[in-house]
Amino acid sequence: MITSSFPIAGGDFLTAGFASRALKEQLKRIGVDGQIMRRIMIAAYEAEMNVVIHARKGNLWVKFDHDRFNMEVIDRGPGIADLALALKPGYSTASTEARQLGFGAGMGLPNIKNASDVFEVDSRVGKGTRVRSTIYLKTQPVGDPTGHCLSIGPELCNGCLDCLKACPTRAVRVWDEKPHIISALCIECTACIAACKRDVFKIRDQVRKQVPQRSVAEALQDTLVIPRAFLTQFGLKIPPRLVIAVLRKLGYKDIRFSEEWEEELRWAVRRYAAEQDSYPVISPICPAVVNLIESQFPALIGQIAPFMTPIESAIEACGLQSATFVAACPSQHTLLTRADLSGRLQITGPAELSAQILPLIAGQAGSAVSEQKPIPHPPRTVNPDLVVLEAWGMENVIDILEKTEKGLSEDFRILELSACENGCYGTPLFKENPFMAKNRWAASRLGRRRQVSAAPTKNPYVARAGMRLDQDMGKAIEKLTRIDKLTAALPGRDCGACGAPTCSSLAEDIVMNRRPGLGCAVLQGREES
């Protein structure tokens, strides 16, 4: 059994939502089913906001048993004169200030009631209000265990802890001055690669089959699938057209851009969203974001549009022919590796392909290249009601997904979220500034697009183990209880000196037997003094 208490300050809109966020961490760790988690989050958030909006102060108590979640919120406020009226959707006594901030729509108590299996409310005018909610629990089924494709060069690490602070899912540890990655927590974004200035993190086996040096006469006629950003990485005097010409000299006659499938996915998602009643629809345009949802936001899995990611659609389009893919991030590399059972795909990285073509580029800066007229794109119309929210950067992506969990993004019909800035232009595997690279591509007028299709998913998106402490919910609750007790004994500084990103992460590492001993430098210093 787990019991927790969260104080709530009336009128404090800046910290509003803290209790429900902390509660969500607990729900993920014990493996609560995504849809039930969402109901709990709605009930807790609405209860918390009711105190902030209407009362002077209050407390939220929660208790987990093996089969149910119980919540009780007691506030010291004006009380509710007419409970029947307060339970009607749209009725509100919120202040002008709360309404100006976007709160007080009159859906608090109705939403808590709808989310609960058992709901009670008791209020005394001039005294305050007590709300009770019970929601029955069930375990979230998860897919097969997943790993990551990152390799680590510990000899390059200087112990700066930048990777520890940058990881959005707290998957990185630095033990004995050597970085480690908790596979269950890693979503294969590029945060640790971008944060590290010493190239400690690389994609494991980046060149599974070395891109062959060959003449045109000996060419294997492979298809080459690359991000457009690759063509803009060679400076102002090496335009994309010249890079394409050099790639053709290397033997690639069929050069395709991964953005072809991205663009088609956008239209497929728009067509799909136009037929849906529940919003927002989440585009699977970025595999790292899909990984994030599967591991950290299982309640939102059902909102992912049922299409493959663009890189998977490109793999499908290649059929049985051999092809070379340039993976722009670890998550793309993993998808390519899983798809290649017959050895027909060669997977390389931007740096490796650049090393192959740089000798051919040398001395050709400013060379004239035959002009290619862009193929005109057929016009497409967009339903003006389909408001699309495009966002990038893991901090923004996580914030938007958290708001979506609480039902605060329903004014957007489609969410198109990318881990890297400007999509693949912003991956740290490319060295050019993403805004300059994107502008140079646009200036190249190589706006070619062939007929491609967005492939539907063969298997539905499923939750990952992620933060789950144990497959058995009862055992997970027992472990979480031990973690909470140990966390309470730690300083709470989240300094990272122990090699874990937070005190709670250190407590979890100890309970999960990832590392022996306490390892807290602050506590050890107190004992020595």
pLDDT tens for residues 210-245?
445 544 334 445 789 999 999 999 888 888 989 998
The yes-or-no verdict on residue 411 having pLDDT over 50 is yes
106-110, 327-331, 332-336: which range is least confident on average? 106-110
pLDDT tens for residues 71-100?
999 999 999 989 899 898 888 888 877 776
What pLDDT sits at residue 14?
81
The yes-or-no verdict on residue 529 having pLDDT over 70 is no
For 384-398, what is the mean pLDDT?
89
What pLDDT sits at residue 300?
93
Whether residue 154 is preceded by a cis peptide bond, meaning omega within 30 degrees of 0, is no
pLDDT tens for residues 172-189?
999 888 899 999 899 999
Measure the CA–CA gap between 177 and 508, rounded to whole angstroms. 20
pTM for this prediction: 0.84
3-state class (DSSP) for residue 321: coil
- Token pair belonging to 73: 């919120």
Q: Hey, CA dihedral for 111, 405, 492, 468, is it positive or negative?
A: positive
- Token pair belonging to 281: 């629809």
What pLDDT sits at residue 39?
92
Q: Which CATH architecture has domain 2-136?
A: 2-Layer Sandwich (3.30)
Please report which confidence band the pLDDT of residue 2 belongs to, taking 50, 70 and 90 as the band edges.
confident
| Residue range(s) of every CATH 3.30.70.20 domain in the chain | 142-204
H-run or E-run covering 57:
strand 57-64
Backbone angles phi, psi at 362, to 5 degrees: -55, 130
| Residue range(s) of every CATH 3.30.565.10 domain in the chain | 2-136
What pLDDT sits at residue 218?
40
Q: What angle do CA 397, 402, 408 make, to 5 degrees?
A: 110
CATH of 474-529, one of 3.40.50.970, 1.20.120.530, 1.10.15.40, 3.40.50.720: 1.10.15.40
Closest CA to 498 of 516, 521, 473: 521
Contacts of 252 (CB under 8 A, 6+ apart): 219, 222, 223, 224, 324
pLDDT tens for residues 470-489?
888 889 989 999 999 999 88
What pLDDT sits at residue 129?
94
Measure the CA–CA gap between 118 and 133, rounded to whole angstroms. 6
What pLDDT sits at residue 118?
93
pLDDT tens for residues 33-49?
888 988 998 999 999 99
Which of 311-320, 361-370, 446-455: highest mean pLDDT?
311-320
- In the chain, % of residues over pLDDT 90: 46
- Token pair belonging to 363: 């001395």
Measure the CA–CA gap between 236 and 433, rounded to whole angstroms. 12
Count of beta carbons in the 10 Å neighbourhood of residue 24: 24
What pLDDT sits at residue 210?
46
The yes-or-no verdict on residue 20 having pLDDT over 90 is no
Region of 402 (left: φ > 0; alpha: ψ -120 to 50; beta: rest) is alpha
- Token pair belonging to 461: 């998106």
| Residue range(s) of every CATH 1.10.15.40 domain in the chain | 474-529
Q: Which CATH architecture has domain 142-204?
A: 2-Layer Sandwich (3.30)
Mean pLDDT of the chain: 85
- Top-confidence residue, 272 or 445: 272
Q: What angle do CA 252, 451, 345 make, to 5 degrees?
A: 40
What pLDDT sits at residue 176?
82
Closest CA to 117 of 35, 59, 54, 53: 35
What pLDDT sits at residue 121?
94
Please report which confidence band the pLDDT of residue 280 belongs to, taking 50, 70 and 90 as the band edges.
very high
- Token pair belonging to 522: 């602050």
